[in-house]
Amino acid sequence: MSTKHSEQDKYLPPSFQDFTAEFTVQSPGRINLIGEHTDYNNGYVLPTAINKNILLQFAKNSSEHHCNIYSKTYEKNFSFDLREISRNEQQWENYILGVISEIQKQEKELTGFDCIIDSDLPVGAGISSSAALECGMAFGLNELFDLGLDRQTMAELSQRAEHNYVGTKCGIMDQYASMLSKKDHLLLLDCQILKAAYVPAHFQGFKILLLNTRVTHSLADSEYNTRRKECEEAVLAIQKKHPQAASLRDVSFDILEDVKEELSDVQYKRALYVLQENERVLQAVKSIKTGDLSNFGDLMYDSHVGLRDDYEVSCKELDFLVDFSKEFDGVYGARMMGGGFGGCTINLIKEEAVEEFVSKASAAYFEAFGIQPEAIIVEPEEGTKLIRS
């Protein structure tokens, strides 16, 4: 059944005034409980999709090649020809164009379509609005044109879109979690073999609270790619003595100590963090399964220390909020989440303590930085899905 637009949509661009959606795709953001910067090192991660989404409305149009996109979030629209897909100066457009390019590389046939995009995902908060957009676009086009792509293939081509069109050499975690998550579960994802196990999110009496620092330092994008390069260079140095090591996933603590003298201080610290974080992910899963949330919280704090001191991707705002949480009894664990240099902290907090903690943390953070943080309660949700109305 098609969806007509309401009175609030009367300000749509002229090309969308007669738009009638054939269906809507709901594509979620994601959180990562633990396992940061390990995905592109073939390690373990523990993410899940959340109940914050991008909505994409799709319809074919009468054109063979012409497409129109409108973002309510940015209040901007753009058009393009399917025969002439190329990178655009506007970054948000490249997430869409990249997905289309990757679909075309699969020799899948597309014709003219229109799409309206709306979102309640905070941009720059580190909850992967970019992956949600990529996966939502891939899922919608797969449905609109009956392309026959499975969910993992769509996640992988969405990742390649970000590599090739946006320039961020991200791992697979964000797209995989957005596309393949299951409600009320976490994903223990092995990024070396792209296999996941669903872990029940046993957090009764607790909430998952994000505190958005509302800062994004200019280092964020460039340093992400730099960290990946540093890890790759560490692997190349390790391979001189241990050629079987294709990635840091193949490196044990014994091997790392054996080659310590051959690595720079930076390479050693990056590798040490990745090895320790992989261990923390596996320990975290055991703690969650047994209900030992106190130990899980300790692992979150340890993860933040590693990200701050060895991987060096934190910032003073993130550190402030994590340190503040340690003085509050209702918070069991906290750490920075995402690429770093801004975005959110993720906190495991007793349900009854949320209101007081948010109030006190917000006041202290505002006093320190003159910024009002954003508090976001999230719940594990299912991945990208179709909504028919």
Catalytic positions, written as ranges: 174
Q: Among residues 104, 21, 35, 105, which one has the least CA distance to residue 68? A: 21
CA pseudo-torsion sign 247, 248, 252, 257: positive
Amino acid at 358: V
Output b/e per residue, 313-348; b: 16+ Cβ within 10 A: bbbebbbbbbebbeebebbbbbbbbbbbbbbbbbbb
Q: Based on the number of CB atoms within 10 Å of its own CB, is 95 exposed (0-12), middle (13-18) or buried (19 or more)?
A: buried
Asked if residue 139 lies in contact with residue 25, where contact means CB atoms within 8 angstroms, the answer is: yes
Q: State the Cα–Cα distance between residues 178 and 246, nearest whole angstrom.
A: 27
DSSP letter, residue 194: T
Task: Report phi then psi at 157, rounded to 5.
Answer: -70, -30
Task: Quote the radius of gyration of the chain (alpha carbons, Å).
Answer: 21
Asked if residue 299 lies in contact with residue 333, where contact means CB atoms within 8 angstroms, the answer is: yes
Tokens of 220: 């964020």
Q: Among residues 301, 364, 35, which one has the least CA distance to residue 189? A: 35
CB neighbourhood size of 9 (10 A): 15
Using DSSP's 3-state secondary structure scheme, residue 90 falls into: coil
Using DSSP's 3-state secondary structure scheme, residue 50 falls into: strand
